[in-house]
Amino acid sequence: MGISANLERLIEAAAPYWAGEAEVFRSYWDSATRSRESDRRWLALQCAKEVWGSGLAPLDKGIFLGPAEQLVAAFPGIDLSIDRHEVLEIAEGLRAEFAHYCAFADAHDALALPGEPKLNPHALKGGWPEDLALSALRFAHKKENARLGERATRFTEGGYCTLFSEGMALKDRTQGPHGRANVLIAAACAQVYEDEFGHMLKGIVGLDGEGLSATEWTMLERMALEQLRGRIRMRNAQFGNPLTGFALERALAGACTPIAFDYAKAGARLAA
């Protein structure tokens, strides 16, 4: 994967924050307060993100209705005013994010007791304060600088997929009180992981072709790191605040041992 020194520096700056986000999940899996209820809560909140998008799309439409309306609007212009592949990409995005909603909603519903209602996207509207703060930050960055704000948002999408990789790692922990939940969570995360790795790559690909100036790279990095700190707060609240005190401060300060960006995997995906 041939990338510029600027992009490499951005990835390096992001890596300890990705690790901080991963810390949230690892602490939660083993926390004494984890229960069937708390698993159902974070799964429902994850479903909200998969439908409403946390600043990736206008809040009232989210990442289902937004692209669905784009597709309807695009149809008369396919191969006239909009390229067929661009349309296919919108359709694939819609399919992927809805598949993620289904994966987490299925895990959530499988953990229900008899009589507990199923999830639906409409009941999930509104997110939670830290997720709304992340959305607001992303919108503010887009307002400050449309191109760089959008780039930072796409760069930080999915937070290097650490929820999905840490969730997948639960697959062998089938014993104990959370054994059944672990299997369900690992299966859902496995369904989502490869898609989201691709979405993250899309946020990275093309950055070098944007012809950014040194000042713009600095601004992009500032926005990306602010969003990554916002992601740690959002995840910590989603999981009932497993990180507190020094552990939280450390994660927010970017002081966790960085996650090594998998250049080989990224390169192979891009070549495919």
Please state, in angstroms and rounded to a whole number, the distance separating the CA atoms of residues 39 and 170.
Answer: 13
Question: Does residue 231 bind Fe ion (CB under 5 A)?
Answer: no
Question: Does residue 154 bind Fe ion (CB under 5 A)?
Answer: no
Q: Which stretch binds Fe ion (CB under 5 A): 37-45, 72-80, 196-204, 230-238?
A: 196-204
Is 117 in a helix, a strand, or coil? Answer: coil
Q: Which stretch binds Fe ion (CB under 5 A): 4-12, 171-179, 199-207, 259-267?
A: 199-207
Nearer to Fe ion, 28 or 104 (CB): 104
Residues from 94 through 113 that contact Fe ion (CB under 5 A): 97, 100
Bin 32: left if φ > 0, else alpha if -120 < ψ < 50, else beta. Answer: alpha
The footprint of Fe ion on this chain (CB under 5 A) covers a number of residues equal to 4
Contact pick of 40, 178, 199, 229 for Fe ion (by CB under 5 A): 199
Please state, in angstroms and rounded to a whole number, the distance separating the CA atoms of residues 164 and 232.
Answer: 15
Question: Does residue 40 bind Fe ion (CB under 5 A)?
Answer: no
Nearer to Fe ion, 186 or 248 (CB): 186
Nearer to Fe ion, 157 or 221 (CB): 157
Nearer to Fe ion, 100 or 142 (CB): 100
- Smallest distance from the beta carbon of 194 to Fe ion, in angstroms? 11
Residue type, 151: R
Please state, in angstroms and rounded to a whole number, the distance separating the CA atoms of residues 186 and 163.
Answer: 10
Please state, in angstroms and rounded to a whole number, the distance separating the CA atoms of residues 233 and 222.
Answer: 17
At 40, give phi and psi (nearest 5°): -65, -35
Q: From residue 224, give the alpha-carbon distance in Å to each of 12, 25, 111, 163.
A: 12, 21, 35, 18
Binding residues for Fe ion, rule: CB under 5 A, are 50, 97, 100, 199
